[in-house]
Structure 1
Amino acid sequence: MRLGVTRHWSIAIALTAALASAANAQTAQTGPTALSFDAAQLRFDRRSRAISAADHGVDAAKAGADAVRTLHRPIVTASAQYLVYQKTLSVDVTGEKSAALGNTQDFLAAFPGSVPPAFQQIASEISGRLSQALPGLFDAIPDQLSYRFRDEVFRPTVQAALPIYTGGAIPAVQRAAQGGVAMAEGRRAQVVDLARLNLIRAYFGQQAAAGLLEAARRSRDALDKIVSDSRKLEAAGVIPHARTLEVQVARDTAERTYQRAELSSATARDELARLLDLDTVVPTTALFVQTRPLAPVETFLGSEGSAPEARTADAGRQIADAGVALARSRRLPQAYAFGEYNLNRSNALPIEPDWIAGVGVRYTILSNIDRRRTEDAARAQAAAAADTAAEARRIATSATIRAYNLVEGARRSFVLLDSSIAAARENVRVQSVAFREGEGTATPVIAAQAALDTAEAQRIAVAYEYDLALAGLLASASRLDAFGSHLARADQRLVYGTGQ
């Protein structure tokens, strides 16, 4: 029987010890702070770094989507250049020299005959001398004439480019950006649900730990009284000393269990305090159970598409579909309009226009990336995203049904434990009376007390299980905001310490 008691309390302590996950918030307040669950949730939502990070992620995605909404607008840029340049011009005059020399020689050959006879002898001598001197004169003229020009230019210009047709690339990018917003919002919903589930676990976990601590104290105190009665009966010679020792061993086991429960309760208090960034938190909302059955499970189904996981998967599908359109656009031509205006025309280069405008078409004939295979890859990713979205809905449905059954199972167990606890208390009373009157031994008393301890610990554990399962059900059905209303309708509350 002692082994049974030890095993029961080991399970109970393991339950409270599971509440001891680490938290990173820094202590900011002093003294105990009494908080209802609603107040704790409000404070947690304001101070949670995880939720704040998710909010920033949504803001970033929205800003990115806003940034690409104007991709259809023209791009206007202004630039200024200071240029120093040199230009060299070369002209080949070889042909012109030969033609000029031949024409001149022909003219001189005919020159003597065109003058009066009295002067023809003189003209012949002159033309002969010139004919002999011409080659030397023309040789002095270079075969090429070169001209070199150097100047400085300040060139301010305004350029504009307008996409006319992109093959669907711009709408694809915009749809992908909107998908990014939806994905960020889905991830934020996941973070919020997980964070609130963690708060529910820690808040009501502290209450469960307090309940187990109180149960352990009652068990220890009850065994203290049995030890006292045993010693009196031993002194009167009613029972042997061995029976007193048996009761003392059971009492020492209860003391060790109490000490472990005390440490686990302290750990649970510390976790909740760190989670809420406080020194000490005194929960004022007790563990609760609604003994009436919930609405049928069908009322919690049908909203799988609103589940954060499904929303995230749908956003991934939207992004993947946009990727298909973007990959397809790489196989299509692009059309654009462009223009440029020179703001310093008086100092422009000789070949530069004052302004220019036009339209153009660009098409990639040969790419170093297989565009068809790229599109096939994008289609495969879209198909994978679609399957992921469908699987997310199936998982959400299964999770809802499973959580519903857990809630119902915990509710039924809690209702049945009421009669068990009443019977166990009566059994303890009867066995204790028989023992004190010397009509029974200590073993039945210890066994009865262990059965009562087990039932009370189970009641606490089942109430805690109900609260966690209910939160999981509402989260899987995208109704976690309704947790407070279910809490308000509960007709059973387990009050320990300051819980109300």
Structure 2
Amino acid sequence: MIRPAPFLLRAMLLTGAMTPWPANAQSMAADGVALTFQAAEARLEHASPALAGADHAVNAARETQAALATLRRPVVSASAQYLQYQKTFSVDLSDAKGDAVNGAQDLLAGLPATVPAPFQEIAAEITGRLSQALPGLFALVPDTLSYRYRETVFRPTVQAAMPLYTGGAIPAIERGAAAGTSLARAQADQAREVARINLIRVYFGQLAAQSLEASALQSRDALAKLYGDAVKLEQAGVTPRAVTLQAQVARDTAEGAYQRASLAHGSARGDLSEVLDMTGVRPTTPLFVDSRPLAPVASFLGRSGEGPQARQAAAGRDLAGAGVDLARSRYRPQAFAFGEYNLNRNNALPTEPDWIVGVGARITLLSNVDRGHLLAAAKEREAAAAATEAQARKAADAATARAWDLVEGARRSFLLLNSSIAAAEKNLRVQQVSFREGEATITAVLAAEAALSAARTQRIATAYEYDLALAGLLAASNRLEAFGDHLARADQRVLPEPVR
């Protein structure tokens, strides 16, 4: 909301009173770098760290969105392992030994019957001896056979995995990334809008302060001359000492007002120099007012809901909606494809395949996080974001209507002040002549001078109020880029008078 100009001007005066400024501020004003408002706007784009930071934030959000746009692609990775392993095999031979002894004895027992009769007795004697020797021979074979194998293996492999179905998680992530980019752009636009409004404030604020300083100087010089006339009249015996003292008080008061206005002008110069990152800026585009009425307020309401704040709220709603989709995906199954290829099959482990491909699926049956509450929380955030968006659009319309009233009020006041200044100037001349001729009191002259000074100050303040209110109206209605067009069409200019 734009505050009325008198409040802003009083704040400028207070700031100036607390900020010391060199005594040669007037000469610095003449030596400063001359800049039109359009040139100051162009300079702002390069001089504002806030705008640079906002642009970097947009670029970061855009890059993040681009990075997440390939989530459906397979993930291919290569790995290499250098392994050293040992394997021990143990075989129980006790049962095999018994079976072998029994089998061999049975075989020997049947051999004598297979030879000719003359030799059967000899064969029986030989097989008997062999049968008796068999247990001793097999006793030399251990009951358990152990074998230990040690090997070194180099294992390079290539793995691939690709999601087939994620339950909506990937679309939700992509939607959230797009919302993040929209949010960053809206924030950058708002930062640029705030920076431009601040430039309007300090650029035309310096002009207003310069005009107020010139007006205060005029009043001081006029009252100084009046004091000189009072001294002469007192010396001539025309007026009493009290009139001279009254004129002196008025002159000293005007001197104090001028000093404060000069300090405020210096402070305003410092504000503009800081915003533009320049030393000594001299604005050349004067304060302006368009005497023609504004278009109806309804014509400004059409785009008020498209401003940066409303777009930030809309992006927040989209981001919350993506959170709802992501929470829902936790209930759904996931499917994926995978594969692996061994690049060193000649040196592979015994149980390791040369390559493998397959598909898989999984679903969470029981989670240690309550998915129902997660989904409910995401829906509540979405509802809150939707309400925030509605409120932002409503607030934009209300701000537009208020700013329109301020602009129109300042315009009407400014036009009335033109005739007021003319009447005040004529009245002052009449009172000054009457005072010199002894037909009017010094009080009447002082009152006329105060009225003229107040009218001049109010005219400057009203022009400044008009410019600030116009900037607020255009910002609230998402038309701030048209400020330059309004400036060019304005038919009333308030040029600061040169400071002597």
Q: TM-score range by the shorter chain?
A: over 0.9
Cα shift readout 1:289-319 (whole Å, capped 9, x = no counterpart): 1111100000000213311001111111111
Corresponding residue of 1:176: 176
- Per the alignment, residue 195 of structure 1 pairs with 195
| Structure 2 residue aligned with 1:71 | 71
Separation in structure 2 between the aligned mates of residue 249 and residue 124 of structure 1, nearest angstrom: 158
- 2:82 maps to a residue whose letter is Y
| Distance change (3 Å), C-alpha of 1:240 and 1:31 | closer
* Counterparts in 2 of 1:156 and 1:65: CA distance versus 1, 3 Å: same
Q: Which residue of 1 aligns with 2:208?
A: 208
C-alpha displacement of 1:145: 1.6
The CA distance in 1 between the partners of 2:151 and 2:16, in whole Å, is: 82
Give the superposition deviation at 1:347. Answer: 2.0
Structure 2 distance, partners of 1:68, 1:200, is: 40
Matches within 5 A, 1:39-438: 39-115=39-115, 119=119, 122-438=122-438
CA distance in 2, matches of 1:12, 1:122: 141
Counterpart of 1:68 in 2: which secondary structure? Answer: helix
- Kindly state the Cα deviation for residue 444 of structure 1 after the two structures are TM-superposed: 1.4
Task: Report what 1:5 is aligned to.
Answer: none
Shift of 1:107: 3.0
Residue 137 of structure 1 deviates from its aligned partner by 2.7
| Residue matched to 1:25 | none
Whole-Å separation in 1 of the counterparts to 2:9 and 2:100: 122
1:225 positional shift = 1.1
Cα deviation 1:259-297 (Å, max 9, x = unaligned): 111111011111111211221111100011111110000
Tell me, yes or no, if the aligned pair for 2:12 and 2:264 is still in contact at 8 Å: no
**Which segment is superposed worse, 246-255 or 129-138?**
129-138
Q: CA deviation at 1:195?
A: 0.2
Deviations 1:478-499 (A, max 9, x none): 1101000000111111001479
Structure 2: distance between partners of 1:222 and 1:259: 15
Q: Which residue of 1 aligns with 2:494?
A: 494
Residues 11 and 45 (structure 1 numbering): CA distance in 2 closer, same or farther, change over 3 Å? closer
1:144 CA drift (Å): 2.0
What secondary structure, in the 3-state scheme, does the structure 1 residue paired with 2:405 have?
A: helix
Q: Is the 8 A contact 2:16 2:266 kept in 1?
A: no
| TM superposition score normalised by structure 2 | 0.92
Deviations 1:166-212 (A, max 9, x none): 11111111111110110000000100000000000000000000011
In structure 2, C-alpha distance between the alignment counterparts of 1:312 and 1:143, rounded to whole Å: 82
1:109 offset after TM fit, Å?
Answer: 3.9
Alignment partners' CA distance in 2, 1:488 and 1:226: 41
1:26 aligns to what?
none
AA aligned to 1:323 is G
Report the CA distance between 1:14 and its aligned residue.
Answer: 3.6
CA contact 1:323–1:378 (8 Å) conserved in 2: yes
How far the C-alpha of 1:428 sits from its partner, in A, is 1.4
- Superposed CA deviations along residues 352-406 of structure 1, whole A, max 9, x for unmatched, are 2221111111112221111121111111111111111111101101110011111
1:35/1:281 contact within 8 Å kept = yes
Q: Matched residues in 2 for 1:12 and 1:204: separation?
A: 12
- Give how far 1:106 is off: 2.7
Residues 419/203 of structure 1: CA separation in 2 closer, same or farther (3 Å cut): same
Gaps of 5+ in 1: 1-8, 23-29
1:424, 1:448 within 8 Å by CA — same for their partners in 2? yes
| Partner Cα distance (1:324, 1:21) in 2 | 54
- For residues 172 and 13 of structure 2, the distance between their equivalents in structure 1, rounded to whole angstroms, comes to 52
How far 1:323 sits from its partner (Å)? 0.9
**TM-aligned CA deviation for residue 140 of structure 1:** 2.4
> What secondary structure is seen at the aligned counterpart in 2 of 1:69?
helix
Q: How many residues are aligned here?
A: 484
Letter in 2 for 1:254: A
Q: Go from structure 1 to structure 2 and tell me whether the alpha carbon gap of 1:14 and 1:328 turns closer, same or farther (over 3 Å shift).
A: closer
Question: What's the offset of the Cα at 1:84?
Answer: 1.8
Give the structure 2 partner of residue 27 of structure 1.
none
Find the aligned partners of 1:31 and 1:418 in 2 and give their Cα distance: 31
Instruction: Report if the CA contact (8 A) 2:166-2:329 is conserved.
Output: yes
Moved more, 416-425 or 235-244: 416-425
**DSSP 3-state at the match of 1:478:** coil
TM-score (norm 1): 0.92
Could you tell me whether the CA contact under 8 Å between 2:286 and 2:494 is conserved in 1?
Answer: yes
- Would the aligned equivalents of 1:288 and 1:467 in 2 still touch at CA under 8 Å? yes
1:480 corresponding residue in structure 2: 480
Task: Please give the secondary structure, in 1, of the residue aligned with 2:70.
Answer: coil
Question: Structure 2: how far apart are the matches of 1:33 and 1:455?
Answer: 31
CA offsets per residue over residues 405-453 of structure 1, 9 Å max, x none?
1101111111111222222222211221121111222111111111111
Distance in 2 (CA, whole Å) between partners of 1:230 and 1:160 is 101
Say whether the 8 Å CA contact 1:396–1:476 is kept in structure 2: yes
Q: Distance in 2 between matches of 1:13 and 1:236?
A: 42
CA contact (8 A) 1:187 1:312 kept: yes
Separation of aligned partners in 2, 1:217 and 1:113: 150
Q: CA deviation at 1:124?
A: 4.6
- How far apart are 1:469 and its partner, in Å? 0.3
- Choose 224-233 or 426-435, whichever is displaced more: 426-435
Aligned residue for 1:6?
none
User: d(CA) in 2 for partners of 1:64 and 1:464?
Assistant: 44
Q: Is the 8 A contact 2:213 2:261 kept in 1?
A: yes
Displacement after TM superposition at 1:12 (Å) = 5.2
| Structure 2 match to 1:36 | 36
SS of structure 2 residue aligned to 1:421 = helix
Alpha-carbon shift at residue 136 of structure 1 (Å): 3.1
The 2-side partners of 1:31 and 1:56 are apart by: 36
Q: Which consecutive unaligned segments of at least 5 residues does structure 2 have?
A: 1-5, 20-29
Distance 1:49 1:284 in 2: 25
Q: Match for 1:43: what amino acid?
A: R
Instruction: List per-residue Cα deviations over 1:99-133 (Å, max 9, x = no partner).
Output: 11222233344445555565555545444444443
